[in-house]
Structure 1
Amino acid sequence: MALCSVVSGGQNMNSAKDNLKERVLKLLDAEIDFVSNRSFNSPDFELETFKGLNFPKSAASNVSMQDKQSQNLSPHLARLCEAEVLSVDEERALFRRMNFLKFKANSLRSQLDPDFPDLEKINAIDLAMHESENIRNYIFRSNMRLVVSIIKKCVTPYITFEDLLSDGIWTLMKAVDKFDYDRGFRFSTYAYRAISNYAYRKIADRKKETMRFTQAPHDRVLEETRDSKRSMMGEQPWEEMSNVLTKTIEKLDQREQFIVRGRFALGNFRSIKTFQKLADELGISKERVRQLEQRAVAKLRSMVEDAKYDMLRELAGF
């Protein structure tokens, strides 16, 4: 019995050591992103930095339900926007604490040895990272209203509020990590530029994408010759089918509209585009264009009169 106890105890010790080693390896592999500061090396800095370490009082109670409704936000997003805006001193203190905690964790991590794991240092690193993450989240929540106000101004016919919101949130989180509190200006100034610049770039890209799907360059339009399907159907059935498609095509997504217009010579397309030509313009395979055309025609088929089904099937080739 005694021998079994010794063996069991030895196995438990080895297992605990293996677990500690695994924790060390994870810490060494993790990325700790922080903005360094010369004052971090001062022996009195930590004591001065953590005097009265309490987050500023939330202003959730000051935000009325009427204000939330006027913002037209979902309940989850409205809750994220409840934290009050930080003062200059509060903002500076929180950024200083957050970055120092990461600096401290990184310094302790450099002292770790996987073969001789130090539990005290491991726990100290985990605690510092946990506290810095709490501060980061608080700064993030305190600036969510800034994201919403910027995004609302950037909504256009080409892009929706929801499309821009996720990118705005991501940009805000990156801005929190990159902001240098010691440069003398407010975080809101830095974040505003980052979020608005990213939003404007996305709007421009989406506009180009939309124009690409809805218009074809004039010199390319005239390159294609008439497709045999049009001559086989005759002018009158073709024109009738074109009128039906024109009325319903707007209900398709942009890529499907582009393909249907190209395949059926609608809108700016003066002649029928081949699958390969459309594939080259969209940057996808010829087979994928064929699949998208079939999907689009299936949608159109459900929108038009029963009398038009046979024409759609004949036009699409199935």
Structure 2
Amino acid sequence: MIACSCLLEAQQEKATRRRAERLLQTEIDFISNPSFKNWDVEGEIEFQLGSGSSSREMKHSSPLLKNPRQLPAHLARLCEGDVLSADEEQALFRRMNYLKYKANVLRSQLNPETCSDQDLDTIELLLDEALRVRNQIFRSNMRLVVSIIKKCVTPHVTFDDLLSDGIWTLMKAVDKFDYDRGFRFSTYAYRAITNYAYRKIADQRKEHSRFTQAKQEQPLEEVTEEKRPEMDEQTWLELSELLEQKIESLDQREQLIVRARYALGRDSKVQTFQKLADQLGVSKERVRQLEQRAVAKLRKMAEETRLDQIHELVG
């Protein structure tokens, strides 16, 4: 019995040590504040958040998105959070960052060889509560994200693409916002989300412009590499027209590469991997990979529709 008890104790000590080591390796990101070093601040924050303004039901209507029911169900649920007043917002940010600050202070005093499970429980509870507050702030500002994204959708950038980026930007903004600087979080988040959305739209426009330009210049390129199979000109033209119909199912880059590599059309010539790499702004090997992927799709279509000639061309 004594040996068994010693074994269990050793296993428990090992488990505690592993927990401590994981906590020491975990990054705790927070915005510090001089008031955190004042021992009275803890009671003040507990009073504000435990029984004060931030714990009561908040019934403010949103000026940003008045009817979330117009959205898909999963988005409407994300937008159900109540809008925070300035005082509630400041109290939540102060609490979240103080909880992280306190957890970080306690963690800095940890010794994996001597700490107890109670020490670790205290730190983990602080971090769990900070995460709960962070999620409350996040939910209360999701309507802002949707409101911004709806205005930024373009033919080349979808609502879903921008929404995922907007959510990610909002989460980062919550972590980086300094509540003590005197302005509302919505102002800070609006700038961050809008700037990110505009950068993505600009990048997509550049990419689309590059594809369009490469496609327009393609028939004029002079190349030396040839890849046409040996067949008479009429058969080649008929096959080219047939393949031209099928490649509409490929994405823009794949279409460009297939047309260039297989010289589709009466005047086109085969382009080299290097020439296409220069046009698309990627590596030569990446162009090769994209061609292989496109060819695999065409081969599958050929097998499904029994187009033996296409299968022979791309096989």
Q: Provide TM-score, normalisation by structure 1.
A: 0.84
Q: 1:126 aligns with which of 124, 136, 140?
A: 124
**1:42 to 2:38 alignment:** yes
SS of the equivalent of 2:92 reads: helix
d(CA) in 1 for partners of 2:76, 2:60 = 10
d(CA) in 1 for partners of 2:227, 2:28 = 63
CA deviation vs aligned residue, 1:198-242 (integer Å, no higher than 9, x gap): 1111222222233334431749942225846278431x4444444
d(CA) in 2 for partners of 1:198, 1:48 = 37
The alpha-carbon deviation at position 60 of structure 1 amounts to 11
Q: Any residues of structure 2 matched to 1:189-268 within 5 Å, and which?
A: 189-216=187-214, 218=217, 221-225=220-224, 227=226, 229=228, 232-234=231-233, 236-266=234-264
Per the alignment, do residues 209 and 116 of structure 1 end up closer, same or farther by CA in structure 2, a change over 3 Å counting?
Answer: same
Higher mean C-alpha displacement, 122-131 vs 271-280: 271-280
Contact 2:227 2:262 survives alignment (8 Å): no
Higher mean C-alpha displacement, 120-129 vs 258-267: 258-267
CA deviation vs aligned residue, 1:47-85 (integer Å, no higher than 9, x gap): 1111142534265999xxx934423x2x22211110111
Q: 1:11 aligns with which of 7, 10, 13?
A: 7
Counterpart of 2:198 in structure 1: which amino acid? Y
Contact 2:246 2:298 survives alignment (8 Å): no
The alpha-carbon deviation at position 193 of structure 1 amounts to 1.1
Q: 2:82 aligns with which of 81, 84, 104?
A: 84
Return 5+ residue gaps in structure 2 as ranges. Answer: none
Percent identity between the two aligned chains: 51
User: Aligned residue for 2:108?
Assistant: 110
Higher mean C-alpha displacement, 124-133 vs 246-255: 246-255
The alpha-carbon deviation at position 86 of structure 1 amounts to 0.7
Q: 2:16 aligns with which of 20, 27, 30?
A: 20
Return 5+ residue gaps in structure 1 as ranges. Answer: none
Higher mean C-alpha displacement, 289-298 vs 10-19: 289-298
SS of the equivalent of 1:229 reads: coil
Higher mean C-alpha displacement, 90-99 vs 148-157: 148-157
User: Aligned residue for 1:33?
Assistant: 29
User: Aligned residue for 1:272?
Assistant: 270
Contact 2:218 2:268 survives alignment (8 Å): no
Per the alignment, do residues 113 and 237 of structure 1 end up closer, same or farther by CA in structure 2, a change over 3 Å counting?
Answer: same
Counterpart of 2:120 in structure 1: which amino acid? I
Contact 1:24 1:122 survives alignment (8 Å): yes
Q: Provide TM-score, normalisation by structure 2.
A: 0.84
d(CA) in 2 for partners of 1:148, 1:313 = 46
d(CA) in 2 for partners of 1:297, 1:109 = 58
Counterpart of 2:57 in structure 1: which amino acid? K
**1:145 to 2:146 alignment:** no
Contact 1:260 1:296 survives alignment (8 Å): no
Contact 2:31 2:97 survives alignment (8 Å): yes
The alpha-carbon deviation at position 123 of structure 1 amounts to 1.8
User: Aligned residue for 2:298?
Assistant: 297
**1:70 to 2:66 alignment:** no
d(CA) in 2 for partners of 1:118, 1:11 = 18
Contact 1:34 1:103 survives alignment (8 Å): yes
d(CA) in 1 for partners of 2:77, 2:192 = 23
CA deviation vs aligned residue, 1:149-174 (integer Å, no higher than 9, x gap): 11122211112111122211111111
d(CA) in 1 for partners of 2:76, 2:284 = 40
User: Aligned residue for 1:57?
Assistant: 57
Counterpart of 1:298 in structure 2: which amino acid? R
Counterpart of 2:100 in structure 1: which amino acid? K
The alpha-carbon deviation at position 33 of structure 1 amounts to 0.2
